[in-house]
Chain A
Amino acid sequence: MDTTKQLKEEIKIKEKDFKFVQLDEKIYDEKFEGEAIGFFKDAMLRFKKNRAAIVSGWIIAFIVFMAIFGPMMNEYTYREQHLEWAFLPPRVPGLEKLGIFDGTKEIRVRKENIEEKYGDALIKVVEEYNVKHQGRDVAMAVIKVDAYKLNEAEDVYFWLGTDSIGRDQWTRLWRGSRVSLFIGVMAVIINMFIGVVYGSVSGYYGGWIDMVLQRITEVLGGIPSLVLIMLFIMYMGAGIIPFILAMVLTGWIGMSRMIRAQFYKYKGQEYVLASRTMGAKDRSLIFRHILPNAIGPIITQATLAVPGFIFTESMLSYLGLGLGAPEPSIGVLLAEGQKVLLNHPHLTLFPAMVISILMLAFNLFGNGLRDAFDPTLRGQE
């Protein structure tokens, strides 16, 4: 090849370079540079890069904090009624000067009544118009009034307003969040426990045990879960414990399927066979060798299940199967707010915001965990 000649001329070759440098040395595999990173540390590093998930984590932490301490932040309790102060709009000291949360609301009234009924409380007339009523023109007006002044509550502050019987919405909102979160998290924990045990037994032992257990989950899973939950609550009566139990009825099936799949994936692998031949007991195989592989998916699936249960809880409340008064939950608050949505939207707005943000945060957080634990799935969301 003529390239050889060319190269020879180009490169100045020194004769002394032609001697062996490692002929008698033993060549080892190169050591990996840097420290070995453990699975969880690695996952953490990846998780930290996911900004949406980190923010979601902080939001969840904030809502949990508020759910615990929020109800203690003012002097009202979740069941204390002030019938004379019903449907007060939100009013927060300080913020009221900015024109928001200032305890005012717009209402439609007959023009002739303005002076007499609203007097001092009137702030301004927004709009005037006429409507025909029984053949006569009636002068109407949209006016902005200070609802607190109107109800002789000038020195009172309900941060998020009050409901139909004058209960403080702030306290009820956070207490409701507490109840909803508690139901969601407890249901997930119990489901996780049952699912892991069931799935492990099914997956580890296989054979006819697996067959029987699989048929059972198949039949249970065939029943629309909402129907089962509703029947159960109708039977048990509403309450925090019945809610949790109802969600456990079929909620564990998903977890058990995942665990079973993990067992099928790992139990045939060489390292498991190796420890089995060395006499490892079932228990150590399950808990030391197989289950730890599933920790990532378990945590992910559990996180992603929480919003589902919170959603189901609020849906049941909407349907009239909710917790009995006076205990609030986000669903109960939403259902109460829905009845007066058009006139008092603030009663719907805040619980709707909390549940939406909470569900969004849990989903994003869960997705972040999944991507961190299983980088191959990244980008599928």
Chain B
Amino acid sequence: MENREKVLQIKDLYITFNTFSGKVHAVRGVNFDLHKGETLAIVGESGSGKSVTNKTIMGILAKNANIEKGEILYNGKDLTKFNDKEFTKIRGSEISMIFQDPMSSLDPVMKIGKQITEAMLVKGNITKEEAKKKAIKLMGAVGIPHPEKRYEQYPFQFSGGMRQRIVIAIALACDPDILICDEPTTALDVTIQAQILDLIKEIQKERQISVIFITHDLGVVANMADRVAVMYAGKIVETGTVDEIFYDPKHPYTWSLLASMPDLDTDATDELLVIPGTPPNMLYPPKGDAFAPRNRYAMEIDFKEEPPMFRVSDTHYAATWLLHPSAPKIDMPDALKIRIEKQQERQVLQNETN
């Protein structure tokens, strides 16, 4: 993994928002790398800063946002220093994005075909006919039946799932290297969700693009991602490969997240774990570990000092004082352990039957 080419490096990104009530510290020093051809999932609850981070990469932050410090390195250039004109050049053709709600992200009064070709034509180097050909091919690739006919239609003539496919086609129109998917399936029916996820996976493999996948749905993560970053209160608290995060989580927040997710063995009598308390108010970011007040395993130091990233393996890091040598040995909660074991058994069984 390490020897792979890094296409995007985010270094110590810190973003605040000016609001009526004061400065909101939305992202507080985020670091991660995106490798070529991998899928990185960023998981966290609402307001954890995952969307803000990615909007910064796209240069579409709201006007009241400030990038306090940090850099986003892409091809040796720092995107945080880009103005809108420079961003316009890389948007679409280098980095592209898919949004949560396909119902509202298409222009209701413009033909689908035009919406796909629009950006290609703006970027130049292509004739109208070529653009149309490419768009129809792309529509076929994202699974739209009768693309020639559909090319001339308007968004209201498409279903939600079909629209999301169109949005994906639009995002891919200028052959980007990086695709950011911001909860692309949240607004869709469950059956459609799976189809769209498969589509993204397929495209990612075929085109060898790097995908950042933002979600709060751990089920989706397990299915899609190569690596996972867990965000809490504007920070990445744990990062690792999918297996590491799902089978060997180290951060108490990750434990809670996993334990709160229903799986195949969960039945009506089981009580799912609820994470007590609420995320901190980001107007006044807490001292120490932001998760400490909600954490059963919080230690005194958690309220005093912010934990650094402790190394678990070359790919696995977690920001919790529990990994400090002086910390009392503590294992993940038993319930979670049992679940993970069951999960692994099932995995093994599945592999055998295959």
Which residues B271-317 have CB closer than 8 A to chain A? 276-278, 293-301, 303-305, 308-311, 317
Interface pair B309/A20, CB less than 8 Å apart? no
* Beta-carbon nearest neighbor of A32 in chain B: B278
In angstroms, Cα B278 to Cα A105, docked, is 74
Bound form: Cα–Cα A122–B321 in Å? 98
CA distance A25 to B295 in the complex (A): 10
Q: Which of A8, A21, A23, A29 has the largest count of B CB atoms less than 10 A from its CB?
A: A21
Residue of A1, A20, A21, A27 touching B311 (CB-CB under 8 A): A1
**B305 x A11 contact (CB < 8 A):** yes
Cβ of A270 under 8 Å from chain B: no
Is the beta-carbon distance between A27 and B277 smaller than 8 angstroms? yes
Roughly how many angstroms separate A3 CA and B310 CA in the complex, as a whole number? 9
Q: Provided the pairs A4-B309, A27-B296 are in contact, do residues A19 and B328 lie with their beta carbons within 8 angstroms?
A: yes
Closest to A6 in B: B308
Tell me if A35 is interfacial: C-beta within 8 Å of chain B.
no
Say how far B265's CB is from chain A's closest CB, in angstroms: 26
The chain A residue sitting closest to B297, CB to CB, is A20
Which of B296, B304, B327 has the largest count of A CB atoms less than 10 A from its CB? B296
Indicate if A18 sits at the interface (CB-CB under 8 A).
yes
CB of A22 within 8 A of CB of B309, answer: no
A18 to B324, CA, bound (A): 9
CB distance from A45 to the nearest CB of B (A): 13
Among A7, A18, A26, chain B packs the most CB atoms within 10 A around the CB of A18
Q: How far is the CA of A28 from the CA of B293 in the complex (A)?
A: 10
Indicate if the CB atoms of A19 and B277 lie closer than 8 Å. no
Q: Given the complex, which residues of A lie within 8 Å of B300, measured CB to CB?
A: 16-19, 21
Given contacts A18-B301, A27-B294, A27-B296, contact A13 B328 (CB under 8 A): no
Using a CB-CB cutoff of 8 Å, which residues 25-45 of chain A contact chain B? 25-30
Counting CB contacts under 8 A, is A15 at the interface? yes
Q: Which residues of B contact A21 (CB under 8 A)?
A: 298-300, 303
Asked if B353 is at the interface (CB within 8 A of a chain A CB), the reply is no
Nearest chain A CB to B28 CB, angstrom units: 16
Q: Which partner residue on chain B sits nearest A25 by CB separation?
A: B296
Specify which chain A residues have a CB less than 8 angstroms from the CB of B308 in the assembled complex: 3-4, 7-8
Q: How many residues of B contact A (CB 8 A)?
A: 25
A22 with B277: CB separation less than 8 A: no
Q: How far is the CA of A15 from the CA of B304 in the complex (A)?
A: 13
Smallest CB separation, A293 vs chain B (Å) = 24
C-alpha gap A362/B297 in the complex (Å): 59
How far, in angstroms, from A167 to B304 measured CA to CA in the complex?
83
Could you tell me the distance between the alpha carbons of A288 and B300 in the complex, rounded to whole angstroms? 50
The contact of A23 among B277, B296, B311, B321, by CB within 8 Å, is B296
Q: Closest chain A residue to B296 by CB distance?
A: A23
Also in contact, A28 and B299, with CB within 8 A (given A13-B326, A18-B321): no
Contact of A13 with B299 at beta-carbon distance under 8 Å, contacts A1-B309, A4-B310, A29-B276 already known: no
Contact at B277–A18, with CB atoms within 8 Å? Answer: no
In the complex, chain B residues 306-344 whose Cβ is within 8 Å of any chain A Cβ:
308-311, 317, 321, 324, 326-328
* CB atoms of A27 and B297 under 8 A apart: no
Given contacts A3-B309, A4-B308, A27-B276, contact A22 B324 (CB under 8 A): no
Cβ contacts under 8 Å, B328 to chain A: 18-20
User: Does the CB pair B278–A29 fall under 8 Å?
Assistant: yes
Pick from B295, B297, B321, B326: contact of A15, CB below 8 A: B326
List 18 A-B residue pairs with CB atoms under 8 Å apart, sorted by A's residue number: A1-B309, A4-B309, A7-B308, A11-B305, A17-B299, A17-B300, A18-B300, A18-B328, A19-B299, A19-B300, A19-B328, A20-B297, A20-B328, A21-B299, A25-B296, A27-B296, A28-B276, A29-B277
